[in-house]
Chains A and B, each alone.
Chain A
């Protein structure tokens, strides 16, 4: 099939699903088209990100993790504005994503592929696709991935200006409260330690990795008042 034909085919499938605004089925549909295990669409800027939709809870957890630790295929594709592929997570260099890879494997993922969402030369998000078997995407899958990413990008930009919060509200896929809790905890730690929020976020991550715990759990403890970081020793900082 020619690229042009593929493109109109994909566009038609999305149109049939009436993509006036990005519904949760966006990810379900992209799984079907790409033939992958799970997908997540993430809205991003240089400081923050949020999942706009995800096919399942695993994709949400991996998206959350990438945001809180600041590493992984999605932020990498965003920064590079190009496809990031890791067809075999088990065999990849452990240095590449030291926090993302173990959790992805634990959740049953074997390969990951991230496509930037772009308009003009501006990148504003990423479509991340997961595979439960190792191996590269076929040429067709890769070109479909680019088309699906482009179609999703267009549909996100079509939303009415007053609909910003519709899109952001959709980010409560899975347990979106996790992400809010992390930001709340960040604000609390900023006050506890008398530091800027950016540093407070780093301190929370540092604590989580020092204690070998999930960032989300640590944030939950902070918000519940069960944990304070006043006594944390600096020096175990996780990369800024």
Chain B
């Protein structure tokens, strides 16, 4: 491949990967782009990516070909292989001759050789101490990857790791923002429901709140949920008063509003 076109290819691969960051984030797109990019850049004959899920289990997320996907699944099924080693050690794992490494991976190595591969480079997907998966690069001939290629593959893997972790951070913050915004509505609903009960029963706000709380306890529901239903009209005001354990008499005696 001519140097310029290779450079073009490298640039366009990086552009494609980073495009995913600024536009809509799509994990599968990003990882497939990484696997395909590695093959297009001639870094490997085939590439596969394992990613850890929320239960800390590794899963096959992308592969440049079906036989690679099967080989990745094979690693997971047998709990053995370079990708798993790269993930657990947080360091690159390299086999320059798979046929000579049968003792290292007794199940995986013969399977990979059968699939037509002779070497493998597994690069952890990580940011500092956090490892989220690994990139497997399979070669169809014996021998190590040129240093420059290994550096490119590592750079691509790093860019993708940062993209994924950054996206997770944003997602978590967005969930948190939504929770805060919801809490805002709960508080308003509770005050409004108090006002509605107070007006209907001609009682003061404290008593209205005690009705609301008592009803929520008796029906084993959240105070907020009850308040929201009162405000929306889904729950009748009389039902709340009837369903609370506070007798109207005790309110008349102690809490009743005297008019003005």
Binding site for B on A (CB under 8 A): 43-45, 47-50, 119-120, 122, 124, 154, 156-157, 159, 161, 164-165, 167-168, 180, 183-192, 196-197, 223-226
Q: Are B185 and A183 in contact (CB under 8 A)?
A: no
Q: Are B195 and A184 in contact (CB under 8 A)?
A: yes
Q: Kindly list chain A residues whose C-beta atoms are within 8 Å of the C-beta of B233.
A: 196
The distance from the CB of B79 to the nearest CB of chain A, in whole angstroms, is 35
| Residue among A43, A184, A191, A226 with the highest chain B CB neighbour number at 10 A | A184
Q: Kindly list chain B residues whose C-beta atoms are within 8 Å of the C-beta of A224.
A: 260
Q: How many B residues touch A, CB cutoff 8 Å?
A: 33
Q: Kindly list chain B residues whose C-beta atoms are within 8 Å of the C-beta of A191.
A: 195-196, 199-200, 237
**17 interchain pairs (CB within 8 A)?**
A48-B188, A50-B187, A119-B176, A122-B177, A122-B178, A161-B176, A167-B183, A183-B195, A184-B192, A184-B195, A184-B205, A187-B199, A187-B231, A188-B195, A190-B231, A196-B233, A225-B257
Checking B184, B188, B259 against A225 with a beta-carbon cut-off of 8 angstroms, the contacting residue is B259
Checking B176, B178, B195 against A190 with a beta-carbon cut-off of 8 angstroms, the contacting residue is B195
Q: Taking the complex as formed, is B174 at the interface, i.e. its CB lies under 8 A from any CB of chain A?
A: yes
Q: Are B199 and A122 in contact (CB under 8 A)?
A: no
Name the prevailing secondary structure of the A interface residues: helix
Alpha-carbon separation in the docked complex, A159 to B173 (Å): 10
The distance from the CB of A48 to the nearest CB of chain B, in whole angstroms, is 5
Alpha-carbon separation in the docked complex, A168 to B182 (Å): 11
Q: Are A124 and B199 in contact (CB under 8 A)?
A: no
Q: Are B174 and A50 in contact (CB under 8 A)?
A: no
Q: Kindly list chain B residues whose C-beta atoms are within 8 Å of the C-beta of A47.
A: 185, 188
Which residue of B is nearest A119, CB measured? B173
Alpha-carbon separation in the docked complex, A131 to B231 (Å): 39
